[in-house]
Chains A and B, each alone.
Chain A
Amino acid sequence: MLELKNITKKYGNRTIINDLTANIKDNEIMCIVGPSGAGKTTLLRCISGLEKIDGGQFILDGKQFDPTTSENNVVGVVFQDFQLFPNLTVMQNITLAPELVLKQDKQTAQRKAQELINQLNLDGKESLYPYQLSGGQKQRVAIVRALAMNPKIICYDEPTSALDPNLRDEVARIIIDLKKTKVTQIVITHDMDFAKKVADNMLQVQPIK
């Protein structure tokens, strides 16, 4: 379980997140919803260690946890614009970090990547470069890339916003399907219909006045 305890985040004098407390249970899908400007993305950036918090703490399975310094890969991220590495093939995008960070040998990394690739219907795309993929395919590569690091938690920033509306159900299906892998998922979205479809639990955030 990931506990957020009294999390506060400021940019200069502006408070973005004020004293937020929430619990995210293992293997659940937690949707963080709210209008733009409510600090949803900022919260995701704090959980994934891209921003330092100004107050409060994160507790993971009963132990205090600092996402900015954590050595092992606890939190994976699927960015709104995916941020695949354009100079690497789909396979290389996925195996780069497992090889360099988890020190897996090439065969192991590729075998694990292949399982995930098949699971997310990306087979046949292994040697393509990101520019050759559709938006939905890029997103699935980004998901596989995050999953290949065996994270406990995977965060999605607005997973429906860069996609065709009719791909929304497809993303929902993928996210729900991934519960099988025992990963905890945090989904940031302003799309209430989508949130209702996938969420086990919902956290509403509002802009601070």
Chain B
Amino acid sequence: MLNYIFEILPSLLSGVTTTLQIFFLTLIFSIPLGIIAGVGLISKFKPLKAVLEFYVWIMRGSPLLLQLIFVFYGLPMMPGIQIVFPRFDAALFAFILNYTAYFAEIFRGGLQSIPNGQYESARVLRLSYWQTFRKIIVPQVVKIVIPSIGNEVINLVKDSSLVYVIGIGDLLRAGNVASARDVTLLPLVLVAIIYLALTAILTFILRRVEKHFSYWK
């Protein structure tokens, strides 16, 4: 059995690399974009707000799986504008769009939970809007949103397995291929263990981050 595990491990690990690439690239782009969109969602400029609300509704209201299929298989079929993405880019594009919407909602909620008195208190001290945002609002919002962001981060690890459907060789695909070829359950068990290990590491890191911000209440 140990021999077999060592035999399939390289293909699983190469699958993990792909999974992690999607994971990190999605986070790197969708968190900053989510902050920007979150600020836009509380904007007093109605058209901007309406467009962003529509975008969030589409992204949260339809399955991520459908969005993946749509971007990879659907866009090339679109009459007039035939956009063809390479597989990996298509996956990344769909994930970033989808996760940005979730992060935007989380940041919107965080921003709205700061009492108006904080803004007024900054205003009578003559702080500019930008100074208020940077020194007072952002640090408070960050602390508030960390648990929700953590939730999405854990989800993202597991959601990344959806790229399977557009033929990307991620961890799940590597395991499934081995399992079907060798008619054994073992690769799938290994896949589960690797996912659990990844989420356990993330849970640990997120706890540390939360603890880091517990110096004030």
| Chain A residues engaging chain B, CB cutoff 8 angstroms | 48-50, 71-73, 75-77, 79, 81, 83-88, 96-97, 100-101, 129-131, 145-146, 149
Contact = CB atoms under 8 A, between A and B. Distances in A.
A85 B140 CA distance: 9
- Dominant SS among interface residues on chain A: loop
Contact of A87 (B120, B122, B127, B139): B139
Given A96-B127, A100-B131, A100-B135, A83 B216 contact: no
Could you tell me the dominant secondary structure of chain B's interface residues? helix
A149 B118 CA distance: 17
Interface in B39-64: none
B217 interface: yes
A49 B124 contact: yes
B136 interface: yes
A50 B135 contact: no
User: Which bracket fits the contact residues of B?
Assistant: 20 to 34
B125 interface: yes
B125 A145 contact: yes
A147 to B, nearest CB: 11
B66 to A, nearest CB: 41
A50 B120 contact: yes
A100 B122 CA distance: 11
A87 B134 CA distance: 12
B117 A79 contact: yes
Nearest to A101: B126
